[in-house]
Amino acid sequence: MCAAPGSKTAQLMEMLHGRVSNIPTGVVVANDVDNKRCYMLVHQAKRLHSTCCLVTNHDAAAMPNIYLTNKDGTQEVVKYDRILCDVPCSGDGTLRKNVDLWRKWNVANGNSIHGLQVRIARRGLELLAEGGILVYSTCSLNPLEDEAVVASLLLQCEGAVELVDVSGRLPGLVSRPGLTTWKVSSKDMAVYTSFDQVPEMYHTQIRAQMFPPSPEVAAQLKLERCVRILPHQQDTGGFFVAVLKKTGSKLPWESQNRAKPTTLAEENGEEENQTVRQEKIVAPRKKRRIQGYKEDPFVFLTEDDEIWKTVRDFYKVDESFPNTQLLGRCQQENKRTIYLVSETVKNIIETNGDKLKVINTGVRVFCRCEGKEEMACNFRVCQEGLPTVLPFLGSRKLRMSKEDLYVMLTEEYPLETQFSPELQAQLKDLGRAQYPTPEEFELVLAGRRGKATLRCYVAKQERVHYLRVCGYDVSEYEKRDKKKKVDSTKAEVLRKCL
């Protein structure tokens, strides 16, 4: 929830993939309400080359239920075993690096955002499975955004959620326990110790739930189990973390309401019935548009798809490859890129349809070749998806020496004659084609063979990294990058001055 720009999401994806060697059955749903920030999230997630990530664009406080279709055709609501709730905050914990906050900060920032933080975290608890963990975090030190939110949630949950003591999890981390008492200020800097002292004119800005509970209640809530990370203790920013565990199957307000829909059809039917009842009372209104841009559709390849047949035959793809989990982003046959997703992600996309606004998912595994050369297969293997698909490929593989690898990485369009006789002999058996290139020490690259060239499709930064791994001097490349950054900075300064 509130996942952009994506650094924490990347760590969650690493944890998911670190436990298994094949495609995990789990999924990371990374959501953000800001459409533009969602694309920052996509950029971060792409670095991990995961088949198990869904980037969605919804209001976290009203995050829709996600449904899965079981093997018997029934549907069930997805309940999460882990949720990271990194809510929007005033950001006053970043004062050391964020100079603008020194001019913009005021006490009203925390007061105004408190309600939104409670609603987001409350929705997160609703989506959590019994026994699941929700981590509530901010980069603020204001207790109204921290302990006041946690206390409000615990009181509303009436024992169905508890704070977890994590003080011993990271012995090297210096932190302070959560606060049990604090004061509330108005935008005029008037300080109040209880809600009874607040003038009626401020009741819309200062709520009763913002004040600390009584000492007896605070002891029961165990607010000291919250974690406060202060900047001066370890030369960091200021952060607040609370780990909440859901101990009950239902929350109090869920039990009081009528039965929740258990299938997507029931939920849609409920909405339709509500619309019919409303039409009898008020005039019909235009359907509310989904915020942001309309995304391209997710179209899964069928078994008899011509693209899949060509790729399968050309690369001698093993029968165990999950080809039904391949998808494109357009309805037309001339798809440019083919993505691979996990079985769970496919299930979610097909079950939920347009109800779930998915910005991006999957890892690129095959891309249409550029140029006008006639080839047996117009799709090459993508570097991002190579580690995933390589075990299933039965042909188009080469092994090369360290010297040949150096030529591949340093030349943009290396000629075949520049490589060793051993590699040229292997090329005679390939024909003009694309291929993955496994090195002796498990360095795997994706490339393409043209009429007279042998090209590596790897990003420039990755090329420099691989050269460094092989022990080659990369100082010249680093100087070029540094010079480009300096020139870019100068150009940006000049543009602003003009």
pLDDT digits (tens, 9 = 90+) for 51-71: 999 999 999 999 999 999 999
The strand pairing partners of 16, in sequence order, are none
Residues annotated within a binding site: 2-8, 32, 59, 86
Residues annotated within a binding site for S-adenosyl-L-methionine: 2-8, 32, 59, 86
Per-residue b or e along 360-375, where b marks 16 or more CB atoms closer than 10 Å to that residue's CB: bbbbbbbbebeeeeeb
* Active site amino acids: 139
Looking at residue 287, its pLDDT comes to: 45
Listed in sequence order, the DSSP H helices in 175-263 are: 215-221, 231-234, 252-256
**Residues of the chain with confidence (pLDDT) below 50:** 258, 271-272, 274-289
97, 181, 322 from 91: Cα distances, Å:
11, 21, 44
Peptide bond into 391 cis (omega under 30): no
Distance of alpha carbon 34 from alpha carbon 36, whole angstroms: 6
**CA atoms within 13 A of residue 303's CA, in its CB half-sphere:** 1
3, 51, 79, 346, 348 from 342: Cα distances, Å:
21, 5, 18, 6, 10
Long-range contacts of 36-43 (CB under 8 A, 24+ apart): 37/4, 37/5, 38/4, 38/292, 38/359, 38/360, 39/359, 40/4, 40/5, 40/6, 41/3, 41/4, 41/5, 41/6, 41/9, 41/359, 42/6, 42/359, 42/360, 43/6
Tell me 109's DSSP state: H
Looking at residue 47, its pLDDT comes to: 86
The CATH code for residues 75-262 is 3.40.50.150
Looking at residue 134, its pLDDT comes to: 97
In the three-class reduction of DSSP (H, G, I as helix; E, B as strand; rest coil), residue 77 is classed as strand
Tell me 167's DSSP state: T
Looking at residue 293, its pLDDT comes to: 53
Looking at residue 411, its pLDDT comes to: 86
Neighbours of 156 (CB within 10 A): 16
Looking at residue 483, its pLDDT comes to: 66
pLDDT digits (tens, 9 = 90+) for 191-224: 999 999 999 998 989 999 999 999 999 999 999 9
Q: Where are the domains of the chain?
A: 75-262, 397-498
Q: What one-letter code names the amino acid at 59?
A: D
Global pTM value: 0.84
Distance of alpha carbon 54 from alpha carbon 362, whole angstroms: 8
**CA atoms within 13 A of residue 188's CA, in its CB half-sphere:** 7
Q: Whose CA is closest to 400, among 416, 381, 413? A: 416
Question: Any idea of the CA torsion for 139, 144, 147, 149, to the nearest 10 degrees?
Answer: -100
